[in-house]
Structure 1
Amino acid sequence: MPPGLGLRPVVGRGRLGSTTRPACRPSLCFFCSLTTQESARARSRIARSRYQHIGRLSVVASARYATTDASAARRDLEDTLAELEKHAPNHVSLPRVQLALRSLQQEAGKESIRIAILGIANGHPGRTAKEVLRLLLADPLKAEEEWERELDKHDTAHPLVVRIGKQDAPDQEALRQSRTDLIREMQVSVPTLNGHNIEILVMETNPLTTNPRARAIQEFEESVLVPAVEIPTSDSGRVTPVATPVHKALIVADGMLGALAVSAMPLVDDKDEIAAAVNLRHPTDDVSSCPFMHIDIDLGAQGLGLFRDNVSNAMKYEACWYRSNIPDVRSWLTLGSLSSEDGATKLPVRKLVASVLQNALASIQAEEARHVSCARPALLSGPRLNARLADWAEGAHAELQQELDLVFSGRRWRKLGWWKLFWRVDDVTMLTSEMVTQRFLPRSEQEIVYLAGRLAESQSSDARDELPAYLQPSATADGTRQIVEAKWPTHISFTRRYLLDETIPALQALAQKLVLQTSSSSALSAALGGLMYLSSFGAYEAGAVTALGLVWSLGRMQKKWEAARDFWEGEVREEGRKTIRAAESSVAHYLDQAKEEYAQGGRAVEDLERARELVEKAEAALQKLP
């Protein structure tokens, strides 16, 4: 077999036949070698420090970007709420929106939180509310402080604002009037709550609504979270209610009557914003399932007094304190109200904004539903309704002409010939009234009422009370006409009454006058002829004078009566034409007004859509808040 060839190390590309040579290294002394090693270590440390610095810069940049995003989201939420307040003031609670805007303008995590303690006006609400506040803020390690004594003297019929924070001076007055001399303020220092920007409003309130409807729940929430503080406006005792919005509210009641009143309130399951506490002394039954917190202020005050008397009573103090359930109320008070350094928005502020947006969305949805239910589908087919109105007007004119032609050429009208007035003069009113009542647009009147009913039927049941009215004339006491509004056109009936009450009596009076004048003239001419006959004139001359007087009287009567008949006939026809035109104009005005209202409803729907977009934008910005 052929001899085996040993493989040589490859030292370079394409140089298979070259031999390896040892690399030549410069000789270094011991100290130089140490220097070289230290330089390498230094370079390694510099590289590591550079990488650490870059890492720190990236962390700082990330935190800066996160802070920038949070600030942008906060500004976006603030701008959106301000625009919502301006664009849809009827769908938001303006006091709560203003409170939310003031909270968002403050530093994140250090917002001022307003809490209301409302005593229901039954039993001893003022004492209970004041005692609850004292037990919540009292420091057991100190003796009774000045603010506690001032609080005990305060009348809760007047609102009191308690600001929690360090006092500027130890001898500062505990209870003082505000700068406007309207609301009393008290500065209280609580070591565990100082620096957290908490304000407490203590006041009495009347029993609140107990209606369980959804709208009543919103009204209940509005009345609790926006209590009305009565501000005196003059020395005469007049007061002006001023809305004072708060982030959270605690309803305080006393005894069984208070428990019944609180149980009837539409309290929601989420008690972060609204909670209730009832002072019950040693209840024998389990009240854990009740929608309120059970407290015993006497037991809490007893435990606080024992601990202040002697520190050795700590066990008794703890037992009384926890049995009184005051710690539960304090936990509710401080939940989300404490400041933080991480820049996270306080929970009450988030709850306030979320509640405002939720109520605004509910109001917008209710308004949209109302607009949808009040939509007028018949008005969308305007040409069809206009054609129906034109058909009615054409039919009314045809009916007017046909009916009046029949009635003025009929037997009743012929009964009122001039020569028949002598024995039918008392029948003028009866015959003409029958003609007007039975022949003056009876079918057109029914059809226009039917048309108005069809227009009203096209509306929804919610919108029928808001239908536009028909303009039509009405007679006043002095005989003039004025324009009034009605639910359907009554022009035909009004004109019919006008003909019956105004024109027919005048025609009747003229007929009686003409008959009397003709009879008198004929009698005078006959008397004159008789006198002439008795005198020197002969029978021929006397008869000629009598005949001349009789012919003149009858001719005058015929001329005036026929002119009156023609005038009355023309007046009836003209009044009929004017009535038809007026009724047609009234219905057309109704349609135009309804279309305008529908167009305004469309603009209102656009405004509601814009408000809904603002609410959704605010909700998105709220989700981005830290």
Structure 2
Amino acid sequence: MPPALGFGRALTRSRRLPGPTKSPSICLFCSFLPPRARFPPLQPSFQSTLPRSRRKPQPDAIRSQTTASAAPATSSKPDSDSNPRRALHRALLDLQSHAPGYVNTLRLQLALRNLTQPPGHESIRVAFLGASPPASSSTTTTPTARRNTTNRLLRLALADPLKPAQPWEAQLEAHDTATHPLVVRVGPAAAAAAEQHHLETDGTQIRQQEKKHVIPELRVSSPLLDGGNLELLIAEVGEALFADGVEVQVVDDAILVPTVEVASTTAGHVAPVRTPVHMAVLVGDGVLGAAGVLGLPVSEGRDVVTAAVNFAGLGEGDLRGCPLVPVNVDAASEGLALFRADVSNAMKFEALWTAGNVGRISKWLRANVLASGEGVTKAPVRNLVRSVLRNARAAIQEAEVRELSSELKEKVSPGSIAQLDQALSEWAQKAHEELQQQLDIAFSGRQWRNLGWWKLFWRADDVGMVASEMVALRFLPDAEKGIIYLAGRIQEAGIVEGQKGQPLYPGPTLIQPGTTSSRQDEIAPLTVAKWPTHIPFTRNYLQEKTVPALQALAQKLVIHSASLGGLSSALAGLSYLSGLGAYECGAIAALGLILSFRRLQQKWDAAREYWEGEVREEGRKAIRASEASIAGVLAEASKPRDDRHADLEELRKAEDIIKQAEDALSRMT
């Protein structure tokens, strides 16, 4: 389960398995398919999620601006995979048509709309959501005050201290977002002035829009965010979100696709409308509000979902290390009012504004909303596409696992399949536990500690022996025996695939110890064996490739350190012969020795840490690859029914489309 909103180098490794490696995080045993791409356009906005008869007509100036911004996307180059943005758009449309039940359609449409806009000029939606758990209703803070915190925080984040209070600031603070959500559009002062006659300080325009049964809108101008094409939604999250046992997907949908109630009839009836956003800010009030926000399980990172909680009277030391953004809305508001009243209050404004900590929210908005360069896609758009693809892949893989499990249980006796599945799960769990425990023992043992940098001068030649012995004795010995035993149980169950009446498992060809052939540096080909060979292959790889590299690095560092120390000592001696004093010459020699030892310590400690991490990571990959090899044999044990075969083909086709989209996203600027 993802963490709650508790927000909770290198040794050279040779190529080993088929396929060009494009990312260092790719599994050692994965094979690669060539990326493909295909497809054209789509377009929603905050109002497009409303029923067609309820949508607010765009002003002529805004409509002409929208048409102009969309024109480059429709009149650009011909369709070609060389255009990654068009390829990504085509892949997302294919995903929407082939797997509509496994993708969040609203978020996908938002991503498609962004891809039709010029790079770096995409419209970004951010939701400011008031988060008030039920327990906070018993506090002395009134519900109205808690709701107003969100409006006040947004006003402070958008306000310009160098200008007097604008009419929209009073409207924003006076609006009740608990009953009527509000859309705030940030744009240049000229665009805001074009509609100034629609905005009255008494909130008349907002009430008129409410009578038209659409989400009321407010246009503001912020000097730092005018060029970001920013749309803000202010609303409240439901109290049901804070109930115990709420699933992560439910929380993510409630935050990134918030539901707002829009008037659907003149009689006051309302209809829920879901509005997807790129990012969200959860705004709480007080300690209970912070506790409620921290308890929400959110899978997205802080660049997508962040939280701000209004605290009054707490110092910086009280909130050090807090995963939330602590703000003091009262202090920031007081500082802004003092500065606008008299510029001579600049010092007081600076102190109160710093204590209010509202600048962190403004900085977070600017960092994500403004483009990092001309023609560069904004980060929130990339994060949105990644999130959509990640969730779609997880849903498709879950459905595929269900289909495969159902097929296998129909082919072989259900009891045998259940026992083998349970045995495979138990083996994987024990293997991961063994990997962690045995490597912890090895890396905390006396032999490994004796290879510290200060002992490296007389133990450099022992590095290879100690590291190779650790790998041979501690790297998954019991897991290798367990996987062989499990392969025997599968053969005993009657699952026959090989020519000699036994299952054959795909795996890498073993590198024979001591091999000096040039083929050892080539990609290790795949083969089939009576049991998975990933663990012994990885052990041989570590011993034959990484251990010699680690020992060579140790010897190299010792030679460099000794050379630098010797050169500094020789320089000190020459300086002494040339007439410098003994103290000066000693200082030269000492400086050289200190620099050489410091470099030796940094390089060697980093190399040891990297090698430890590599051994752990390769062990984890070997376990996963062995488990996947066993699961693949079980999956091929029976022929799928025609209808399920078609379903699996559709799922795999959707996975291919996701791969195409990920490849296009990685190539897109």
Instruction: Give the TM-score of the pair, scaled to structure 1.
Output: 0.53
Corresponding position of 1:331? 363
For the structure 1 residues 205 and 150, does the alpha-carbon distance in structure 2 shift closer, same or farther, using more than 3 Å as the test? Answer: same
2:100 equivalent to 1:89: yes
Amino acid corresponding to residue 345 of structure 1 in structure 2:
T
Give the Cα separation in 1 of the matches to 2:664 and 2:175.
Answer: 43
Instruction: Report what 1:275 is aligned to.
Output: 306
Aligned counterparts, 1:33-44, within 5 A: none
Instruction: Note if contact 1:142-1:308 (Cα within 8 Å) is conserved in structure 2.
Output: yes
- Tell me, in whole angstroms, the C-alpha distance in 2 between the residues paired with 1:67 and 1:282: 60
Secondary structure class of the residue paired with 1:286: helix
Secondary structure of residue in 1 paired with 2:184 = strand
Going from structure 1 to structure 2, the CA distance change for 1:69 and 1:603 (only over 3 Å counts) comes to closer
Query: Which of 165, 170, 181 is 1:159 aligned to?
Result: 181
2:391 aligned to 345, 349, 359, which one? 359
Code of the aligned partner of 1:354: R
Letter of the structure 2 residue corresponding to residue 144 of structure 1: A
Q: What is the correspondence of 1:18-417 to structure 2 with a 5 Å cutoff?
A: 72-121=83-132, 122=136, 123=143, 124-156=145-177, 157-165=179-187, 166=189, 167-169=192-194, 171-174=196-199, 175-176=205-206, 181-207=213-239, 209=241, 216-268=247-299, 270-283=301-314, 286-339=318-371, 342-379=374-411
What is the deviation of 1:459? Answer: 7.3
Q: Deviations over 1:4-35 (max 9, x none)?
A: xxxxxxxxxxxxxxxxxxxxxxxxxxxxxxxx
Shift in CA distance, 265/377, structure 1 to aligned 2, threshold 3 Å: closer
SS in 2 for 1:110: coil
Change (3 A) 1:70 1:296: farther
TM-score normalised per structure 2: 0.50
Distance 1:609 1:68, change over 3 A: closer
Aligned equivalents of 2:78, 2:352: Cα separation in 1:
46
Query: Counterparts of 1:173 and 1:145 in 2: how far apart (Å)?
Result: 14
How far the C-alpha of 1:116 sits from its partner, in A, is: 0.4
- Equivalent residue number for residue 655 of structure 2: 612
Is the 1:209–1:216 contact (alpha carbons within 8 Å) kept by the matching residues of 2?
no
CA contact (8 A) 2:225 2:370 kept: yes
Partners of 1:78 and 1:119 in 2: CA distance? 34
| Alpha-carbon distance in 2 for matches of 1:119, 1:600 | 47
RMSD, matched Cα: 3.1
- Contact 1:70/1:625 (<8 A) preserved: no
How big is each residue's C-alpha offset from its partner over 1:110-136, in whole Å with a ceiling of 9 and x where there is no partner? Answer: 000001000023553320000011101
Secondary structure of the residue aligned to 1:155 is coil
1:599 counterpart = 2:620: no
Question: Which amino acid is the alignment partner of residue 646 of structure 2?
Answer: R
Describe the SS at the equivalent of 2:303.
coil
- CA change 1:458–1:328 in 2 (3 A) is same
Judge conservation of contact 1:125–1:252 (CA < 8 Å) in 2: no
Task: Decide whether aligned partners of structure 1 residues 269 and 283 sit closer, same or farther in structure 2, where only a CA change above 3 A counts.
Answer: farther
Q: Distance in 2 between matches of 1:251 and 1:353?
A: 22
**Aligned residue identity for 1:206:** G
Question: 1:120 is aligned with what amino acid?
Answer: A
AA partner of residue 180 (structure 2): H
Residue 205 of structure 1 and its aligned partner are, at CA, apart by: 1.5
User: How far is the alpha carbon of 1:278 from its aligned partner?
Assistant: 0.4
Instruction: Write the distance in 1 (CA, Å) between the matches of 2:639 and 2:659.
Output: 30
Q: Which secondary structure state, in structure 2, belongs to the residue aligned with residue 290 of structure 1?
A: coil
Q: Which amino acid aligns with 2:181?
A: P
**1:311-358 alpha-carbon deviations (Å, 9 max, x no partner):** 011111111111211011111111221146620000000000011111
Q: Which residue identity is paired with 1:623?
A: S
Query: Is the contact made by 1:250 and 1:275 (CA closer than 8 Å) also made in structure 2?
Result: yes
Q: Structure 1 residues 187, 309: closer, same or farther in 2, change over 3 A?
A: same
| Cα distance, 1:378 vs structure 2 | 4.3
Matched letter for residue 651 of structure 2: L
| Residue in 1 that maps onto 2:476 | none
Give how far 1:294 is off. Answer: 0.5
Tell me, in whole angstroms, the C-alpha distance in 1 between the residues paired with 2:305 and 2:383: 11
Q: Which has the higher contact order (CA 8 A, sep 6+)?
A: 2
Q: 1:299 to 1:268 in 2, by over 3 A?
A: farther
Structure 2 vs 1, CA of residues 109 and 186 (structure 1 numbering), >3 Å: closer, same or farther?
Answer: same
Code of the aligned partner of 2:115: L
- The answer to whether the Cα contact below 8 Å between 1:376 and 1:598 also exists between their aligned partners in 2 is no
How many aligned residue pairs are there?
356
Cα distance in 1 for partners of 2:84, 2:228 equals: 23
Cα offsets for 1:68-111 (capped at 9, x unmatched): 98981111100100110111111111100000000111111000
Give structure 1 stretches of 5+ with no counterpart: 1-64, 381-454, 464-594
Specify the alignment match of 1:451 in structure 2: none
Correspondence for 1:625: 668
Any idea what SS the aligned residue of 2:153 has?
A: helix
Query: Max radius of gyration: which structure?
Result: 1
Q: Is the 8 A contact 1:278 1:294 kept in 2?
A: yes
Q: 1:362 to 1:126 in 2, by over 3 A?
A: same
- The code of the aligned residue for 2:129 comes to L
In structure 2, what residue type is equivalent to 1:193? L
Distance (whole Å) between structure 1 residues aligned to residue 368 and residue 318 of structure 2 = 29
Matches of 1:70 and 1:80, distance apart in 2: 11
Which residue identity does 1:605 align to in structure 2? L
Helix, strand or coil at the partner of 1:375? helix
CA shift, 1:269, in A, is: 7.3
Q: Distance in 2 between matches of 1:76 and 1:211?
A: 42
Deviation at 1:171, TM superposition (A): 3.8
Percent identity of the aligned residues? 39
Q: Distance in 1 between matches of 2:408 and 2:416?
A: 7
Greater shift in the superposed pair: 339-348 or 283-292: 283-292
Gaps of 5+ in 2: 1-75, 137-142, 200-204, 422-637
> In 1, are the aligned partners of 2:96 and 2:105 still within 8 Å (CA)?
yes
Change (3 A) 1:88 1:67: closer
Q: 1:234-290, CA deviations, whole angstroms, 9 ceiling, x for partnerless residues?
A: 234332211100000000011111011011112457201100110011225632333
Q: Is the 8 A contact 1:111 1:197 kept in 2?
A: yes
Change (3 A) 1:325 1:211: same
Give the letter for the 1:93 counterpart.
N
| C-alpha distance in 2 between matches for 1:375 and 1:69 | 39
Distance 1:81 1:302, change over 3 A: same
Change (3 A) 1:69 1:138: farther
- Go from structure 1 to structure 2 and tell me whether the alpha carbon gap of 1:67 and 1:346 turns closer, same or farther (over 3 Å shift): farther
Retained in 2: the 8 A contact 1:267–1:291? no
Greater shift, 204-213 or 70-79, is seen at: 204-213
Whether the 8 Å CA contact 2:237–2:255 is kept in 1: the answer is no
Describe how 1:452-601 pairs up with structure 2 within 5 A. 457=415, 598-601=641-644
Whether the aligned pair in 2 keeps the contact of 1:263 and 1:290 (CA below 8 Å) is no
Which amino acid in structure 2 is aligned with residue 169 of structure 1? Answer: A
